[in-house]
Amino acid sequence: MSRSLLSPGELRERAGDVLLHHVAGPTAHEKRARIHGAPGPRWFGPERPVRVVHADASMYVGGLAALLLQSLHPLAMAAVAAHSGFQGDPWGRLQRTSTFLAVTTFGTAEDAARAVERVRRVHASISGTTSEGVPYRASDPHLLGWVHLAEAECFLRAHLRYGRRPLDAAGQDRYVADMAQVARRLGVERPPETRAELTALLAAYRPELRATPESRATARFLLSEPPLPAPARVPYAFLAAAAVELLPPWARAEVGPPRTLRLILPLARPGGHAITAALRWVIPPPPVPTG
């Protein structure tokens, strides 16, 4: 008689494959093998904080929080809404973003440089006008700076709250400095090098940030209408609550989470810890580098 129930090991492997397929695409295992296993120098050595942060399951919370925070800059949000195919192809955008982060953090220097150049070419081709008549360019260093700040802040916040081994103060400064290396290559001018500089620059952008119809539509899509099967909706709701709760209070108010999500916000932190623990259990370890 054949077995009808999966063993814990088989369940873990199947869940990990499904997750990787959604986050990194149908060739996830091949991508991971090249990114982590290809011989050659890297931009960041194994001891660097950026590798510690970006390898942790807390990135799932931080990544969602970063999308919500980035959407509060009207020009950045207009560019995303008009050109990224976010709602039409959400998994594709997630896969491109996760692959870029993985390649620049863990991949060879040659592959990382190629990934940056591809992004710069895409940015150079994107321009337009907001619904309020304000022109924008995706290659604008000021807009690139905002996207970078939101990512660095949210990735670091999520790591400190949900990471397996949170960085100390010196490690946080080194993480911000690591992120600045990639930001400069993407065209950001004078990115922050320390945690204090990151906080100060975020405050400097505050007068430019507000909710728009496009940002509200994005928040509704990310928080209420994710393209997920029914069994995944409950754990995703707690992941989304953890991401919203991670935001500064002013940003949380601008995002305006849906009522159903507001009801579970008191459970956001225990739910976030449970979700990141589950993700650590199902995500297979990366391949061991060959050189």
Q: What is the pLDDT of residues 225-239, one digit of tens each?
A: 887 778 888 999 999
Q: What is the pLDDT, as a whole number, of residue 284?
A: 73
When pLDDT is averaged across residues 139-154 and rounded to a whole number, the result is: 97
When pLDDT is averaged across residues 180-198 and rounded to a whole number, the result is: 98
Q: What is the pLDDT, as a whole number, of residue 231?
A: 81
Q: What is the pLDDT, as a whole number, of residue 204?
A: 98
When pLDDT is averaged across residues 154-171 and rounded to a whole number, the result is: 97
Q: Which residue has the higher pLDDT, 276 or 91?
A: 276
Q: CA of 119: how far to CAs of 107, 144, 272, 276, in Å?
A: 16, 11, 31, 29
Pairing of strands 127-129, 135-137: antiparallel
pLDDT over threshold 80, residue 241: yes
Q: What is the pLDDT, as a whole number, of residue 165?
A: 94
Q: What is the pLDDT, as a whole number, of residue 11?
A: 61
CA distance from start to end of the chain:
46
When pLDDT is averaged across residues 95-101 and rounded to a whole number, the result is: 89
Q: Is residue 153 within 8 Å of residue 69, measured between CB atoms?
A: yes
pLDDT over threshold 70, residue 18: no
* DSSP SS3 for 144: helix
When pLDDT is averaged across residues 48-67 and rounded to a whole number, the result is: 95
With the CA atoms of 107, 108, 114 and 118 taken in that order, what torsion angle do they form, in degrees rounded to the nearest 10? 10
Q: What is the pLDDT, as a whole number, of residue 1?
A: 43
Q: What is the pLDDT, as a whole number, of residue 291?
A: 46
Mean pLDDT of the chain: 89
| Residue in this structure with the two tokens 């507000």, named with its chain if needed | 210
pTM: 0.91
Q: What is the pLDDT, as a whole number, of residue 153?
A: 98
Q: Distance (Å, rounded) from C-alpha 167 to C-alpha 52?
A: 9
Choice among 31-35, 37-41, 82-86 with the minimum mean pLDDT: 82-86
When pLDDT is averaged across residues 160-185 and rounded to a whole number, the result is: 98
Q: What is the pLDDT, as a whole number, of residue 31?
A: 84
Q: Which residue has the higher pLDDT, 226 or 173?
A: 173
Q: Distance (Å, rounded) from C-alpha 77 to C-alpha 211?
A: 10
